[in-house]
Structure 1
Amino acid sequence: MKKVTVFLVIIFAIAISIQYWWALSLVAGISLTIFGIIRAKKDKQRKSRQSIYQVDKHGQQPSIGKDISLHGGSDESQDIDDEDTELKNAEPHHSHRDKLNNSVTSDKSVNSNLNKPTSIEEEKSTMRASTRQAPNIHKLRRKLTNFVVVDIETTGFNRFEETIIQISALKFKKDQLIDDFNCYINPHRKLQQKISSLTGLTDEKLKNAPDLNYALDKFTHFVADFPLVGHNIMGFDLPFLIEKGFYLPDIEALDTLPLSRRKLPELKDKKLPTLKKYFGVVNRSHNALNDCRTTAIVYQRLRDDKLDEVEPDYSKIPKSIAGIRFCITGKFDEESRDDLIDEIKQHGGRYTKSVSGLTNYLLKGTQTSQNLIDGVHSNSELKMLENVKNGKEAKIIGLSEFHTLIATGNAKQ
């Protein structure tokens, strides 16, 4: 009976397929089309992950690998960042050049006494770069206690047309600072004024610095097999370094920019100056090495979920302008107004929003307002000029004079 039933079912299926062959063909065609679309999307996603970093100079595309761990099974395996970082959507790196007023305490600059690579050596380096396999970039999500914080200064934002003028790094082992690296680089071109203002670097300071290839070799040796940490490192620093010749077969990197977006969504922005102020970091971010110091503190607090706002401790900063009253007018390329106000307070000075008969100094920048009273001077300037005319101890100064007052303590009430 069972065999008869199976036979009848088969006969019925054949009859149906003959009568409705067109319907079966349509269903098969639709199924194959859907399968093809799904397969094409998967292939496209795979290829896009492999082409985030384009090393245009050599026509190679470093790939983004899966997260890997140097310490499998340790407490560093906890996930702390699951947000993708796309180059085109990343915040501009140089927006974090704030200028608070502490000097660098340790600066192992590579200077002109070191051997520089010859043109033949540079040519060999370029040939090696053009034939070697593209590096694998591993975006890390695990907690790190062994890492190198890196930051660079450049002549501009376009990594294909501009070059690097400073590479700085701090090396941490078991969460303790064990070494630092700071190398200025001769760009063999004149710096734009805005870049000098932004970084504090000048043509005079860089003219005897080593060439880029030499600096990259030293930096690569310094990094060794440590993971890299940086603010917007995936969007700026690492692509720039790779484009200029930095190479390791496998590069591990952790970006504090997307990490801060995830951990502190309430902040108005996630630029380094904002994070520095939020966490009470007191230093003067005048160049890449100071920015490394700031990034290290920011990373450690984000990593450890110590996310409360911190009041800065100014107790160790000399009160060189104690009791002196300052007002600010205009715009400064080198520093934001908030940073200048913080700098005044750090050194014991007093900031007022408007000029009065008690104001000692008016810190003047570039006037950009369209509502200037006489088309040239701001209201604060005119009041200050009137104070001077009436014999008051008052003076209009620029940013360089302001920093000189802080350094020397020669401000007058």
Structure 2
Amino acid sequence: MPQSLSVITLAVAVLCLAYAFILYSQRRKKAAAKREEAPKPKLTSTSRVESSKPKCTLASSSLSSCSSVLNDNSAVKTSKESRPRPSESKVTTYNYKFKPFNPDLLGSTFLDDAIREYNHYIAFYYIGTLDSGRKYSIMIGSSDEWVNILTLNRASVATYESHGFSILEKRWSYGNKVLGARQLRKFISDNMEEIVALMKTQASVRDEKRLAREAEDAKFEREQIMREQQEETRRTQIKTIISGRKPVIQQYFTGMTFELNKNKRNHSRAQQQAEQDYFNINIDAQVCNCNDFQDVTSHYEPFDVRRLCSHLYYTIWRNNLLKSKTDCLDDFVLQNIRRDFWGIYFFSDDDNGRFAIIAYRDRIELDVAMPKHSGEGYVMSRWKLEGREWLGAGGSKRFQQTVRIKLENLFGDRK
């Protein structure tokens, strides 16, 4: 018995060891299988992740770059507890419509020629096609409100015309009705963000133009003040000269009578036109309600040229209402006389040559009618007494010398 018990005990021990070995082996196989199924890490503990840099800046423009870049120094640690996650951000591609303007890059089409000939500043431009198949261009200049558009007009032989469109007020500024206006308006609206951004890049150009405009305005104002001062000085001089001539005019110069012709049709037309264009005028009575007539000329008798204000003068002379005079010199003077007539002086020389000197209320130059150098008839010249010079060629030198002596005798020798 004791021997058989020992054998049984040994056998049980062997079986227990075998069973333990089998369990151990199975556990090792399962552990190995799990290790093989586990994902292997692709990064080391100090790997870096950098996002890509999309190229989306506008060529040659000063728009801000659209790329987004992570900090190169940010390290991502990898361990059993923390593994790197792939970036979920997507790269956005911007399809810019406008290009920086460079005339050298334009083609040879009619639109390219129209852009090249456009006489305003262009910073960026876009060329598109309307639904009708016609080309157009939208241009951005220095304005932060308006874009300019070149598009074909409605003429039978269409040509490119310029139109302005306000992006603030959503309206057209000038030109006839724009072909494709609705489509152009939609394009501008769809690309408003880009247009506004490009306009902002032209702030320095706007500042330069503003400063140049202010300088030009200041220059114009200075010149305007100088012109007004010069004109005031000239008017003062004229008044002084005319005032000094008044005694001579009153003593030696006379009026000149005229007659109206019998062309009733011309008279009626002239009267109607005068009532539309001028003051209240009566041609037959030579009456006008302007201040010049009321204050200066109304005291002269009817049909005296001195009675006529500028309105009556233009109405009668420009509508051919004058009746010709029988005397050749009188008729020549009457046909060539100017407005604001003040008086006339007739005289003859030793050779029976006839002359006429005409003075005006608002001019210091004197008109002079004298015989022609050769042949019959007369010529009208002009003499500036203060400068002792002829302002228009007329008559012979002998006739000019005769008139000059007479003028100096009348008004005094003004050397």
Q: TM-score range by the shorter chain?
A: under 0.3
Give the TM-score of the pair, scaled to structure 1: 0.20
Q: Larger relative CO (CA 8 A, sep 6+): 1 or 2?
A: 1
Larger Rg: 2
